[in-house]
Amino acid sequence: MDRRCETNVLILGKTGVGKTSLCNYIFGTEVLKTGAGRPVTGMGIFEETIMLSPQLILNLYDSWGLEADKSESWKALIQEVLNQHDVREIKDWFHTIIYCLSAKSARVEDFDLEMIEVLGKDGNPVLVVLTHCDVMNVETAITAMRTEIIKKTSVRNQDIVEVSSHAKTLLGGKKTEVFGKEKIIHRIKVNLLYSISSKMPQILTTIGQEKINNWFRDCQEVVKRHVGFINPTSGKKEVSRNEYFDIYAQEIFDEIGRESDALFNEAYDFFSAFSSQFSGNALVEVTDRQKIPQIIHFQIKKSDKIGTSIAGAVLLAIPVVGLLGKFAIQEKTRAYYREGLRYNKALLEDHLQVCVALLAQELKKINSQLETLE
Ligand SMILES: Nc1nc2c(ncn2[C@@H]2O[C@H](COP(=O)(O)OP(=O)(O)O)[C@@H](O)[C@H]2O)c(=O)[nH]1
Ligand SMILES: [Mg+2]
């Protein structure tokens, strides 16, 4: 993959839960010193750019000084970032939202539940990180917090991650370990691939529909020019016209398939890069080299339906009597073509829908393959 891609991650949570420590632990020591970073909103959200790998750039939005229990002001701050980038939906800018809770607090407050629920609406990718999981006797608290979050928000169990961001030597000389970052980095990649590929079917629909509309307009133009008052129709012309429409329709048909392939390949490139980076990433130490699953390239079969409906001569039982007769033939021939072209337009649109569905299905496969690579 020679393209670079960027992912935007927002970290939220009350002061003191361990957001800055988490960033430093996951993305390298001291990337975010408290109070460092470019302020991107009047106050509260700070951006830091980190190279996760040569291909993947992370824009990390840490938050601090947010007043606890003021959900409206939190939402306003997020909205401010969205406005700066001219996007409407949270998921159009943030590919992952990390919501931190401290396992030390042993319970999830209503404010946090409300924020998690609000942020997780409309399929926004929220990851709940329980910090301070290294603290002694915290297991019962973790279980209770998980249960509560799953019950009261739309966050799934697999989107709740336990983390310890601090290695410490305790009084007795025992050491506590850091843990949890592999899973978070992996979720960031899964979410990014999901965000990229969820846009592909819509792109294919737009591109394909435009091609079909152009085909339809061009063919109608040909009919208008060729089927005229002086020369309403003739067998020979009919054959070449039909041929032209058929070949042209076939071209559109093929182009839709090629667009679909290109979009799939683009998503697949990211998938391959992320799968290999996951095991080769300096930020993540993985002992067993993970295998990249193979996905067989898909191809869309041609339908033999396209084109056949226009073929066939126009046999009109109208005797050519004077000008009125010629006019009648012209109108009838044009109507005949209109109908044939509309019928073929509908076939092409059906074909496009099939391609879009296939693309979505194939993308779903690679998304779930990356998801299970843990
Ligand atoms: N034991 C332990 N301490 C942590 C952990 N995460 C953060 N801390 C400590 O909690 C305090 C607050 O952390 P900080 O990252 O500044 O919180 P923030 O206000 O959310 O950015 C600091 O003293 C950290 O050393 C953790 O996972 N385990
Ligand atoms: Mg902080």
Report the separation in Å between the CA atom of 50 and the middle of ligand 2, taken as the mean of its atom positions: 17
Distance (Å, whole) CA 160 – CA 128: 5
Q: What is the pTM of this model?
A: 0.79
Provide the edge-to-edge strand list for the sheet that holds 56-63.
38-39, 45-51, 56-63, 5-12, 96-102, 126-131, 160-162
Structure confidence at residue 65 (pLDDT) = 67
* Shortest-distance ligand to the CA of residue 18: 1
Q: What is the overall mean pLDDT for the chain?
A: 80
Tell me if residue 6 falls in helix, strand or coil.
strand
DSSP state of 98: E
Structure confidence at residue 321 (pLDDT) = 60
Report the separation in Å between the CA atom of 80 and the middle of ligand 2, taken as the mean of its atom positions: 20
Phi-psi region at 306: left, alpha or beta (left = phi > 0; alpha = psi -120 to 50): beta
The pocket around ligand 1, CB under 6 angstroms, is made up of: 13, 15-21, 34, 64, 131-132, 134-135, 163-166
Model confidence band, residue 2 (pLDDT cutoffs 50, 70, 90):
low
Tens digit of each residue's pLDDT (9 = 90 or more) over 339-357: 888 888 888 898 899 889 9
Query: Is the C-alpha dihedral spanning 9, 368, 156, 202 positive or negative?
Result: positive
Phi and psi at residue 129, to the nearest 5°: -110, 120
| pLDDT exceeds cutoff 50 at 279 | no
> Which atom, in ligand 1's list, is nearest to the CA of 21?
15
| pLDDT exceeds cutoff 60 at 32 | no
Alpha-carbon dihedral of residues 346, 351, 353, 358, nearest 10 degrees? 170
Structure confidence at residue 316 (pLDDT) = 41
Tell me what the mean pLDDT of segment 66-92 comes to.
86
| pLDDT exceeds cutoff 50 at 363 | yes
Model confidence band, residue 52 (pLDDT cutoffs 50, 70, 90):
confident
Distance (Å, whole) CA 261 – CA 255: 10
Given a contact cutoff of 8 angstroms between Cβ atoms, the answer to whether 60 and 11 are in contact is: yes
Q: Which residues neighbour ligand 2 (ion) by CB within 5 Å?
A: 19-20, 64
| pLDDT exceeds cutoff 60 at 295 | no
Q: Among 115-129, 262-276, 314-328, which range has the highest average pLDDT?
A: 115-129
* Shortest-distance ligand to the CA of residue 21: 1
Closest to 194 in 3D by CA, of 285, 279, 126: 126
